[in-house]
A and B are shown apart, each in its own frame.
Chain A
Amino acid sequence: MRKANMRATPVALVRLLTCLLLLLYAGRAFAQGPVTITGVVKDKLNKPLEAVSVQVLGTSRGVATDSLGKFSIQLDNPKQQLHFSRVGFVAQTLGTGNSFYLDITMDAVEGSADEVVVVGYGQQKKISLVGAQSSINVEDLKEPVANLSASLAGRIAGLVGVQRTGLPGSNGADLWIRGISTFVGSGNDASPLVIVDGVQGRDINAFDPEDIASFTILKDASATAVYGVAGANGVILINTKKGKIGKAVLMANYNEGLNSFTKLPQLTNAYQYMTLRNEAEIASGFQPDYSPAYIDSTVAGRQPYLYPNVDWMKALFNKLASSRRANFSARGGTENTTYYVSLAYYDETSLMKTDGLQAYDADSRFRRYNFTSNVEMNWTKTTKFELGIQGYISSTNYPGVPASPGGPSAPQQIFADVMQTNPVLYPIMYPHDIVPGVSSAGAQPNPYAELTQTGYQSIFANQLYSNARVTQDFSPLVKGLSAYGMYSFDTWNSQTNANERQRSSYLIDKTTPYNPDGSPNLDLISTGSDNLSFTTSNGGNRQNYLEAAVNYDRNLNSKNHLTGLILYNQRSYTTAFPTNLTASLPYRSEGLAGRITYGYNDKYFAEFNFGYNGSENFAPQNQFGFFPSIGAGWVLSKEKFWNGLKPYLQFFKVRYSNGVVGSGGISQNNNVRRFGYLTLVSNQASGYVFGNGVNNSTYGGIAITDYGTDVKWSRSHKQDVGVELKTFDEKLSLTIDYFSELRTGVFLQRASLADYAGFINNPWSNLGVLSNKGFDGTLDVSPFSIGQTSWTIRATFSYNRDKVIQNDDPIQPYPYMERRGVNYLSNFGYVAEGLFSSQKEIDNAPSQAALGSVRVGDIRYKDLNGDGKIDANDVTRIGNGDVPNLVYGFGFNVVWKQWNFGAFFQGVKGAQRQLGGDGIFPFSNSTGAERSNLFTEALNRWTPGNPNPHAFYPRLAYGAAENSNNDVPSTWWEKSIDFLRLKTIDFGYTLPRGTLKSIGLRNARIYVQGVNLLYWSSFHLWDPELNTTNGTLYPNTRNITTGIQVNF
């Protein structure tokens, strides 16, 4: 027998499986009258649960499980149901089907002492945690958004998130755990490692929120050390829903919503634009472009082709767009097989207009179809097999909108186009569908024509995630020993088909505006084509992941609890359409991870974790890095001396962790140079063509672009102190963590080597040092009642400050210019001291000649070094940058009878943005002052007649040279983008059970949800969350949805 098994082949396994299935089937066939059911009840950690009450439903017959979790009970007939219950656990009722043996897993109630949480490569009792981690109640995530990431900010302590645009199909949020603690500008990735169902490197936005079972972030060294080189930026652990023993539960959810912009930039109207432009031109010594007669004609609007007057925002965008979401899932199983399958559909259209005249579809629309299939099988009593397959198909359609004339499509460009197109430049369209334009080179393209006349692109993408896992329990052999192996294959593919065109443009003749027949006399400006031209491009990647682990988990006696884990994994990620050989090579890492935990009487806890990983990216002697961590926890409230405090604090735990995590390994998200130890010779360098144009000899170019140096892992030393407490009869729980991180050896390109060394790209080195410190915390109030209402409340915050300690920059001439000692994303600029009020003041002030010509009404800057002139040596840190220091969120949910209402607020603090660019700097586009639109804020400006020192704008001027003094980065343009947002509300009605049973439904709920309904901010130009300095991104959207969810 033993020999036979040693030669186990797939065929043998299949046979074994068939036998087992036959046996089970045989069991079914014989079950008729009274039956005896035996079984075992375990908790989520696979530990037997003692003293679970097992009750035959509808009778008084009941037993309790023994110390091994076993029970035996008689049923009168197989149709009777069993009810399992125990304090601290979620009760279950289920039919036995035709089984005689039941293997039941019970979930602990959230917040109870037995609650089990997900940790890196496993699960643990929450009370035993010594590392810093937070998780979220996944129900909270069910907002009508396509991307999970967009709904997370403020909900989890330690997670910093901002949503940068609302464009359907690309409205995911940027996420960081405990802020940014690396040199992102040098191409280092600051994003956390995302792990879904145990597989690294998956996309958080690829899943439908309905399919998520648990969401956890790991923050400190103790929690992340097992991920070694991949863990330094923190880890997001997501598990999708699994099957459950019992009759199939079918769920259907459908909602439909309306979207509108949270805020659209407000631009000046034609009259305002023309008067302000005239004012700017006169102030700059030019003659005004618009005569009073011209302005009158424009405002009167009688000759719209000769005197155009256009509100571009109105011309381009609809007021409302729609979104739609549908989910269907089925969940159930028997004791041997459980399943969760689901289908989801998401559909969102944008607010961008189409003209409805074209034969093609230039609608912007994002559609995604998700599928999930998670199946678990018990092959033997000790062998479990899990197969998970998830993925999506998505289809995105965008209008052509080229990034530059004739270039690739970029829908966001439409906003940049508007910022260059003033309201009186040309009409929306000329009669007979003719496109207006002003430049033969394609500058200042007509935004409406760009949106509606340039064709379309459609993007098809599909994602497949698969993972298979076999777990073998060796407990009968060695108590507490188990092992598993997992293999996963993920692949993503996309194809972009573009069918685009740039049409000819015309402009009305200025001297003879009309033809004899009264039609506008149009001059050809640029020659284009009415024919669409087709291009296609592909994207893709694939990943193989393999993991095997041995687990040991045993209560040595009633008080001592020991667990151990040793794990091997390897990961290989390949880009499907590389552009060169180096890019075609897979990104690879492999390593070992280990953990030993020890718990005494649920009072004292200690852990040792390590990761030992290698990456292909380094020279053989530097490939592997060792990253250990230790942690300890102490539940003080279990001590005798605490008894006096018990009435006030029912639970009190402190924990501490200290360890090292790495980064710089698999780096497909980084722009850090690959194989830094190799000297790179490019054969794509600039070459040369000798000859006189007739007889040419063409040579490509070879250049040594990068010299190799001895690079290795960067290391992040992390410490964390956490306090967890419960008070008010355990109703209120609070977790607060203080953390401190020092990251050393961060990759960066050497900045202190002089240019005359002649390197094309300076060599890379592990020279960066950065620290990061902060707090985060969670406040939870478990359900309490006021009258007939039941309330839950939750709040979180995350605060951090990072600091650059070494960046290899040369020493700056003045300490205030140093980028060392301040946060990495700091904004630098001049310090504005107000506006010059007189020529005399200018004459007596330090010279600003280096910045350009200075006039009264200009910004006056501070002479930081006191040398009597304002120049680059007077630049200092003026702001924190666009990633906030503090992210917070709070919300509540109240239930009254069949009604519920919930609201969630989210906010950030400590984020600033330096404004600049077209529209923000009036008449300052350096390619032509007329290529600049105006925000209505321009009305609030300094003028000689109204010398308001606190105006939004200094005096207006025409031309980049005339404005150069005011357009440099300075505190004048540094604006706080802090905000508080009513992120979601949820209002619902659950139909009474009685009415539903008759129509075969278990329960049903009708709801209205709102997302991004309101925000409060001192920043008024556009939605403060957008990643733009002049409002040229598709704004975030407000969304109101109604829907129904039904369980069968």
Chain B
Amino acid sequence: MRTSSLYIFLAGCLLLMGSCKKYLQTVPSDVLTIDDIFTSKANVDQYLANIYSSLPDEMLQRFTGDGNSGPWEGASDEAKYNWDFVYTNQMNLSTWSNTDGTVETFWASYYQAIRNATDFMNRIGTANPNEVPDSLKIEYKAEARGLRAIYYFFLVRMYGPVVLLGDNLISADASTTAVRLPRTSFDSCIDFIVTQLDSAYLNLPYTPTGNQYGRIVRGVVKAYKEQALMLAASPLYNGNTDYSGLKNQDGTQLVNQTYDPNKWTLAANAAKAFITEFVPNYYSLFVEANADPTMQAYLSCKDVVLQDWNPEWIFAFANGGSFIRYDRTPKHVGNPSDQQGGGAFGVTQAMVDAYFMANGLPITDPNSGYAATGFSSYQSVADRYLNNQYGVGVAPHNTWNQWVGREPRFYVGVTYDSSYWLYQDNGYGIIQTSFEYSGNSGRSQSTSDVSPTGYVARKNCAANDANRGALLLRLANIYLDYAEALNESDPGNPDILTYLNAIRQRAGVPQYGAGTNPLAVPADQNATRTAIRNERRVELAFENVRYFDTRRWKIAPQTDAGPFYGMNMYGDGAAFYQKTQLETRVFYSRDYLFPIPNNEILKDNLMVQNPGW
């Protein structure tokens, strides 16, 4: 009997051991594998969608780097965030560092998208032909190629010359030493971007099928080709001897040292080619028709950024989230909570001053009629819009003279003290913004949720924060690029004023040498350059363009350094209307470029750092 229990016991053990082999086989066999991605169209679509998802959602800029949103607005001379946590404050004082996580975010996430795009391109050919027809494979591959080139463009625009990986994928078990690569020269980066975009063009449609706005189409790749060539022609990279020391360890010069005027010609040609091929069939300047020409200009300039995929939009992050509404709605204490915001995205006095007068002249022009002091009873075009929209009956009211009689784009762009809020809630009292110390949006209400300057940007502030397109590139950029490149390569070409005036006409301001009440034509190439730059600053304000412009023109030491001004946030009444210095911005020559993230330098001993970092 006892022997038998031993046998039973041993038999039991054997039984257990027999089942052991399978015991550990709990592999998740039915999860998606790397090969499953290309077995169905649904998966292919999702893989490609993920590559798109790295496009920057510039409406998230409050948290620099969220959704790859950049510091472009707060770190330009257009605006200042009052919140200390916003990275742009560090950039403005030049206390940012190559060890900052924000610096690494863009670098890492664009390269992740680049890796996925390359993997997609390498393997889309193997996709299940029953689900993904060859024609679609070719088109999708071109989309991925176009996206990859655009991501490289974003990297180059920030960091200068970068590491070009081509069609190679670095293996997961590669040894650390095996993956060390040097940077590629700037011109080679641009060449790669341009040829890739040209190559993608061949297999792309003109318009997205099925209203799938946001897909890479022919216009997008040609527009970014033009953008890349503009960057290459600009002073920052075109024979910039400040970068003579930027060399790889093997001596390769990373930024060319001789000015090449032909680069402007290439850029002008690319812009012209774009206009010829796509305008007006696919893109045109957005106009919201109205019997009142000032109202038409106001509505057109206000809605060109708000109305998703109007004919002027070339590229955007489709259906992105937004923090803009809270940033750009003043605090408005005591009003309906929907209309209470943080209002911390302040417009600088420099930007306020950059807007033209209604007569098209800059405020510095003695004939402009600009008055820096005093008050007038004034009804702005924005007030009239409110009356039409909400029937609130805003009458002419006491307004500081600096804000009286400006061009429509000023009223599109800026919320100033005593102006009426862009949105009103029917049934509540009318909402008027007061930035004075004790006002509903003044500093006595909060030291953080308050404008630092006494102005808040109102451009691109939508009625609600629902997902919408975050504009990346519109036709106005191309027009102004064209005018600029032509003025550099072929001064006096009549196209320069044609396209510059097209922008002014839409904005409801008198044109140079054309239309009603024309202004004098700029005297020479220099004057034309100034006119183009001033127009760009106003037309593309708060659209993430100014930051790059001041850098590629090499004027940032003038525009982004020194004292910045606003109103006196500690004052009530007359005390408020004092031009008050907010801060002194600092710009070192290193600040032209983002630093290569310090970790990359430590990991890769072939990687050289940007000058000054």
Q: How far is the CB of B38 from chain A (nearest CB, A)?
A: 10
Tell yes or no: B555 within 8 A of A by CB: no
Task: Determine whether the beta carbon of B9 is less than 8 Å from that of A524.
Answer: no
Bound-state CA distance A85–B591 (Å) is: 88
Given the known inter-chain contacts A568-B17, A755-B104, please indicate yes or no for A681 contacting B33, CB distance below 8 A.
yes
Tell yes or no: A964 within 8 A of B by CB: yes
Q: How far is the CB of B602 from chain A (nearest CB, A)?
A: 4
Bound-state CA distance A219–B345 (Å) is: 59
Q: Closest residue of chain A to B176, judged by CB?
A: A752
Which residues of B are found within 8 Å of A539, using beta-carbon distances?
none
Which residues of B are found within 8 Å of A24, using beta-carbon distances?
none
Tell yes or no: B165 within 8 A of A by CB: yes
Task: Determine whether the beta carbon of B36 is less than 8 Å from that of A757.
Answer: no
Q: Closest residue of chain A to B23, judged by CB?
A: A590
Tell yes or no: A503 within 8 A of B by CB: no
| A/B pair count, beta carbons within 8 Å | 295
Tell yes or no: B8 within 8 A of A by CB: yes
Q: How far is the CB of B132 from chain A (nearest CB, A)?
A: 14
Q: How far is the CB of A532 from chain B (nearest CB, A)?
A: 20
Tell yes or no: B3 within 8 A of A by CB: yes
Given the known inter-chain contacts A5-B5, A8-B8, A548-B12, please indicate yes or no for A616 contacting B26, CB distance below 8 A.
yes
Q: Closest residue of chain B to A470, judged by CB?
A: B9
Most chain B beta carbons < 10 A, residue from A548, A678, A689, A811: A689
Which residues of B are found within 8 Å of A407, using beta-carbon distances?
none
Task: Determine whether the beta carbon of B179 is less than 8 Å from that of A757.
Answer: yes
Interface stretch of the complex, out of B258-266, B443-451, B499-507, B534-542: B443-451
Tell yes or no: B223 within 8 A of A by CB: no
Tell yes or no: B291 within 8 A of A by CB: no
Bound-state CA distance A756–B27 (Å) is: 31
Bound-state CA distance A679–B173 (Å) is: 12
Tell yes or no: A439 within 8 A of B by CB: yes
Within 8 A of B (CB), among A690-734: 690-697, 699-704, 707-710
Tell yes or no: B30 within 8 A of A by CB: yes
Query: B111 contacts which of A690, A758, A930 (Cβ < 8 Å)?
Result: A758
Tell yes or no: B141 within 8 A of A by CB: no
Bound-state CA distance A305–B342 (Å) is: 24
Interface stretch of the complex, out of B211-219, B235-243, B351-359, B383-391: B211-219
Tell yes or no: A483 within 8 A of B by CB: yes
Query: A2 contacts which of B4, B27, B179 (Cβ < 8 Å)?
Result: B4
Bound-state CA distance A785–B318 (Å) is: 85
Task: Determine whether the beta carbon of B212 is less than 8 Å from that of A701.
Answer: no
Given the known inter-chain contacts A441-B326, A758-B116, please indicate yes or no for A382 contacting B2, CB distance below 8 A.
yes
Within 8 A of B (CB), among A125-151: none
Q: Closest residue of chain B to A849, judged by CB?
A: B95
Task: Determine whether the beta carbon of A688 is less than 8 Å from that of B50.
Answer: yes
Bound-state CA distance A477–B111 (Å) is: 71
Task: Determine whether the beta carbon of B50 is less than 8 Å from that of A685.
Answer: yes
Bound-state CA distance A910–B234 (Å) is: 58
Which residues of A are found within 8 Å of B333, using beta-carbon distances?
507, 523, 525
Within 8 A of A (CB), among B201-216: 208, 210-215
Which residues of A are found within 8 Å of B468, using beta-carbon distances?
693
Task: Determine whether the beta carbon of B469 is less than 8 Å from that of A693.
Answer: yes
Bound-state CA distance A757–B119 (Å) is: 12
Tell yes or no: A440 within 8 A of B by CB: yes
Binary B-proximity of A582-605 (CB < 8 A = 1, otherwise 0):
100110111000000000000000
Bound-state CA distance A524–B602 (Å) is: 53
Query: A548 contacts which of B13, B32, B600 (Cβ < 8 Å)?
Result: B13
Tell yes or no: A527 within 8 A of B by CB: yes
Task: Determine whether the beta carbon of B438 is less than 8 Å from that of A510.
Answer: yes
Bound-state CA distance A233–B319 (Å) is: 49
Tell yes or no: B574 within 8 A of A by CB: no
Tell yes or no: B289 within 8 A of A by CB: no
Q: Closest residue of chain B to A569, judged by CB?
A: B16
Query: A524 contacts which of B4, B16, B83, B334 (Cβ < 8 Å)?
Result: B334
Q: Closest residue of chain B to A472, judged by CB?
A: B5
Bound-state CA distance A810–B111 (Å) is: 19
Tell yes or no: B603 within 8 A of A by CB: yes
Tell yes or no: B6 within 8 A of A by CB: yes
Which residues of B are found within 8 Å of A586, using beta-carbon distances?
26
Query: A871 contacts which of B16, B97, B341, B597 (Cβ < 8 Å)?
Result: B97
Tell yes or no: B1 within 8 A of A by CB: yes
Task: Determine whether the beta carbon of A588 is less than 8 Å from that of B24.
Answer: yes
Which residues of B are found within 8 Å of A476, using beta-carbon distances?
2
Task: Determine whether the beta carbon of A686 is less than 8 Å from that of B53.
Answer: yes
Task: Determine whether the beta carbon of A623 is less than 8 Å from that of B172.
Answer: no
Within 8 A of A (CB), among B295-350: 308-309, 318-319, 326, 331, 333-334, 336-337, 340-342
Task: Determine whether the beta carbon of B603 is less than 8 Å from that of A810.
Answer: yes
Task: Determine whether the beta carbon of A689 is less than 8 Å from that of B93.
Answer: no
Tell yes or no: B163 within 8 A of A by CB: yes
Given the known inter-chain contacts A581-B28, A758-B111, please indicate yes or no for A686 contacting B50, CB distance below 8 A.
yes
Given the known inter-chain contacts A690-B215, A759-B112, please indicate yes or no for A702 contacting B37, CB distance below 8 A.
yes
Binary B-proximity of A544-561 (CB < 8 A = 1, otherwise 0):
001010100000000000
Tell yes or no: A615 within 8 A of B by CB: yes
Tell yes or no: A994 within 8 A of B by CB: no
Binary B-proximity of A659-675 (CB < 8 A = 1, otherwise 0):
00000000000000001
Task: Determine whether the beta carbon of B211 is less than 8 Å from that of A704.
Answer: no
Task: Determine whether the beta carbon of A525 is less than 8 Å from that of B2.
Answer: no
Q: How far is the CB of B605 from chain A (nearest CB, A)?
A: 9
Tell yes or no: B89 within 8 A of A by CB: yes
Tell yes or no: B281 within 8 A of A by CB: no
Within 8 A of B (CB), among A751-767: 752-760, 763
Bound-state CA distance A694–B467 (Å) is: 11
Query: A688 contacts which of B7, B52, B181, B448 (Cβ < 8 Å)?
Result: B52
Task: Determine whether the beta carbon of A703 is less than 8 Å from that of B173.
Answer: no
Which residues of A are found within 8 Å of B115, using beta-carbon distances?
757-759
Bound-state CA distance A853–B89 (Å) is: 12
Tell yes or no: B282 within 8 A of A by CB: no
Given the known inter-chain contacts A582-B31, A701-B49, A702-B47, please indicate yes or no for A693 contacting B319, CB distance below 8 A.
yes
Which residues of A are found within 8 Å of B37, using beta-carbon distances?
681, 702, 704
Given the known inter-chain contacts A757-B115, A872-B99, please indicate yes or no for A6 contacting B212, CB distance below 8 A.
no
Query: B8 contacts which of A6, A289, A757, A928 (Cβ < 8 Å)?
Result: A6
Task: Determine whether the beta carbon of B172 is less than 8 Å from that of A756.
Answer: no
Tell yes or no: B524 within 8 A of A by CB: no
Task: Determine whether the beta carbon of A872 is less than 8 Å from that of B47.
Answer: no
Which residues of B are found within 8 Å of A526, using beta-carbon distances?
337, 340
Task: Determine whether the beta carbon of B43 is less than 8 Å from that of A289.
Answer: no
Task: Determine whether the beta carbon of B112 is less than 8 Å from that of A477.
Answer: no
Q: How far is the CB of A625 from chain B (nearest CB, A)?
A: 12
Kindly list the 4 A-B residue pairs having the minimum CB-CB distance in the complex, ordered from nearest: A928-B448, A758-B115, A926-B85, A707-B172
Additional A-B contacts beyond A1-B1, A689-B214, A754-B603 (7; CB < 8 A)? A441-B449, A548-B12, A692-B213, A709-B173, A758-B115, A763-B173, A930-B446
| Interface residues in chain B, defined as those with a beta carbon under 8 Å from any beta carbon in chain A | 1-9, 12-13, 16-17, 20, 23-28, 30-34, 36-37, 43, 45-50, 52-54, 83-85, 89, 93-95, 97-99, 104, 107-108, 111-116, 119, 162-163, 165, 169-170, 172-174, 176, 179-181, 208, 210-215, 308-309, 318-319, 326, 331, 333-334, 336-337, 340-342, 438, 444-449, 466-469, 570, 597-600, 602-604, 607
Sample 29 A-B pairs with CB under 8 A, ordered by A number. Answer: A1-B1, A286-B570, A440-B341, A507-B333, A524-B334, A527-B336, A546-B16, A614-B24, A679-B34, A680-B31, A683-B46, A685-B46, A685-B50, A691-B211, A693-B319, A696-B319, A753-B174, A753-B603, A754-B181, A755-B108, A756-B600, A757-B115, A758-B170, A813-B602, A853-B93, A926-B84, A926-B85, A960-B85, A964-B95
| Interface residues in chain A, defined as those with a beta carbon under 8 Å from any beta carbon in chain B | 1-2, 5-6, 8, 286-287, 289, 382-383, 438-441, 443, 472, 474, 476-477, 483, 485, 507, 509-511, 523-527, 546, 548, 550, 568, 570, 572, 581-582, 585-586, 588-590, 614-616, 623, 675, 678-683, 685-697, 699-704, 707-710, 750, 752-760, 763, 810-813, 849-853, 871-872, 926-931, 958-961, 964
